[in-house]
Amino acid sequence: MAIVVNKPIPEFDATATGGLKVSNTSHLGHVLVMYFYPKDNTPGCTTEAMQFRDRYKDFEKAGATVFGVSRDNMKSHDEFKAKLELPFELIADTEEKMCHMFGVVKNKIMYGKKVKGIERSTFLIGADGVLKAEWRGLKVPGHVDDVLKAVKALKKSA
């Protein structure tokens, strides 16, 4: 089932760093920011994670919980989180269930070969479990600020 803006997100269950269980209902009552990224410890993904880290207190103040999601395993996530001192949890989607549900698995060309990769994307889910906004195929510079603005606007309209 594909996700659609202004519709509830479909059911899912996942495990994040710190042993945290995350599902479509686990954070009802809280605004969620879920950002999908290709791979731990790559330049763009490291920059994006650090930008979410550096603005984390602003997201918290605006009432949002941030999660990073990639296909990396928990060991990779634990090391990435520790190395960058990330204050938020990372979801290990090793079976790509969430990636497919959110429609972020795309055909890419890498070194002249077709590969399936993760399209850098962010989703803003309201406290009611409804998808409020999405950013797909985005570029890292300025993105975190755009998401934070949307979170603050959502808080004002609530």
Amino acid in position 34: M
Q: Where are the alpha helices (DSSP H) in 19-139?
A: 43-54, 56-61, 74-84, 97-101
Q: How far is CA 11 from CA 17, 40, 122, in A?
A: 20, 26, 18
3-state secondary structure of 105: strand
Instruction: Enumerate the active-site residues.
Output: 45
Q: Check the CA dihedral 137-143-146-148 and report its sign.
A: positive
